[in-house]
Structure 1
Amino acid sequence: MIKNNWRRLLNSLWVTIELTLLSFIFSLIIGVILGLFSVSTIKVLRIIASIYVDIIRGIPLMVLAFFIYFGLPGILGFNIPVFIAGVVTLTLNSSAYISEIVRGGIKAIPVGQTEAARSLGLSYTKTMQQIILPQAFKVMAPSFINQFVISLKDTTILSAIGLVELLQAGKIIVARNLQSTMVYFVIAIMYLILITTLTRLARLLDKKVN
């Protein structure tokens, strides 16, 4: 059975990886911006970041996916392709957590470095670009990989809106063959290999940084 469906499983694995990569790239961009907002000297930006993080983290991922795929089209007046809905869902969810990673990474840099840079005449922006962020990103790197792993796992939830990622492909195969044990075992192994590789990479980066 697996031999007859290996192509479907590999294709769905690629969909899972593609979905995770795209959403993580977008969430990284949004998360870094929001993270910078959260440590900004401008109060309005801090409030915006705080509201965004609180709202997104307070909504279960499946509820968010259902709202974007089933609810949002009613507001916009057109349907959203399931893959795009999946990318948007993961992006919104992950960006809130990345924002907190960025905020924590910046806060981990001794405040004395910022004060010293400002006393030398560097602007806040240049201080961030040239001194704080290069150090902070080294601290953040392992956490970014861990968040990527979380996003990879979260793709399984998107099967609820009909996205044919790895788990959904497995469900389809099981429905046709009525043999679930081997199918889910193979899927579990595929996830295990991916996640173990990424987790070890995170540990390696953490050792190099520290």
Structure 2
Amino acid sequence: MNLDFSVLNGYIPYVMKGTAITLLFTLVSALFGFIWGTILSLFKISNIGPLRWFATVYTSIFRGTPLLLQLLLIYYAIPQLFQYDISPLMAAGLAFGLNSAAYLSETIRAGIQSVDRGQHEAAMSLGIPYKTMMISIILPQAVKNILPALVNECISLLKESSLVSVIGVEDLMRRANVVGADTFKYFEPLVFVAVIYYVLVLILSTVARVLERRLRRSD
């Protein structure tokens, strides 16, 4: 089969450095997506029409166009339109965060609406401000209800992060391609990177299951 994994000798540290970049990118994108997605979800349940309209249109656009297209538009359009030389990693984080927020906004909205309506009414009757009620009472319970969906979104971000290699981000996939170009053997580095992705997903899934069990015990 002409397979020779010894071609990776000397390249393993170089490829492994891409793991840190991939994890950092995933963490930043997930955090940004969660915060912006939460804001969008609040817009969707707001009594203010323009906010609901904005959140609905935003979600429709980002869910209705390919993520790769959004990534390329942000990376190439910002320098052209605003004369700002955005870095590949920043463009990738922005694109993935904005895209993730569109999906998470629906998930978080469903989580908020799954919380017993009586808790809203009780908080309002006690004179608790809306902002305090959402942050301290409603959102923690909503996050607990949608934790599996949030973990699935993080896993999707981790796997889809391989797309950032097309704009030059030195992530795992980009480094695998560099090794392939140097050695003229692509299968071995790609398999090595696939194993790293798989292990990262397993670790994330395990941590999520442990957290979910602890949350269930706290009920």
Q: TM-score, normalised by structure 1?
A: 0.91
Q: Match for residue 45 of structure 2?
A: 39
Q: Any gaps of 5 or more consecutive residues in structure 2?
A: 1-6
- Percent same amino acid at aligned positions? 33
Q: Does 1:76 align with 2:112?
A: no
Give the distance between the partners of 1:120 and 1:81, measured in 2 at CA: 49
Deviation at 1:12, TM superposition (A): 1.2
Is contact 1:146-1:202 (8 Å) kept? no
Deviation at 1:201, TM superposition (A): 2.4
Q: Specify the SS of the correspondent of 2:85.
A: coil
Q: Specify the SS of the correspondent of 2:111.
A: helix
Q: Does 1:55 align with 2:57?
A: no
Q: Does 1:165 align with 2:146?
A: no
Q: TM-score, normalised by structure 2?
A: 0.87
Q: Does 1:134 align with 2:149?
A: no
- The CA RMSD measured in Å over matched residues stands at 1.8
Q: Does 1:67 align with 2:73?
A: yes
Amino acid at match of 2:53: I
Q: Specify the SS of the correspondent of 1:46.
A: helix
Amino acid at match of 2:78: L
Give the distance between the partners of 1:63 and 1:47, measured in 2 at CA: 24
Amino acid at match of 1:162: G
Which structure 1 residue ranges, 4+ long, deviate > 6 Å from structure 2?
none
Q: Specify the SS of the correspondent of 2:33.
A: helix
* Alignment length (residue pairs): 210
Q: Specify the SS of the correspondent of 1:4.
A: coil
Q: Match for residue 148 of structure 1?
A: 154
Give the distance between the partners of 2:152 and 2:19, measured in 1 at CA: 19
Deviation at 1:5, TM superposition (A): 0.3
Deviation at 1:31, TM superposition (A): 1.3
Alpha-carbon distance change, 80 to 121 in structure 1, aligned in 2, over 3 angstroms: closer
Q: Does 1:202 align with 2:195?
A: no
Amino acid at match of 1:194: L
Deviation at 1:153, TM superposition (A): 1.0
Q: Any gaps of 5 or more consecutive residues in structure 1?
A: none
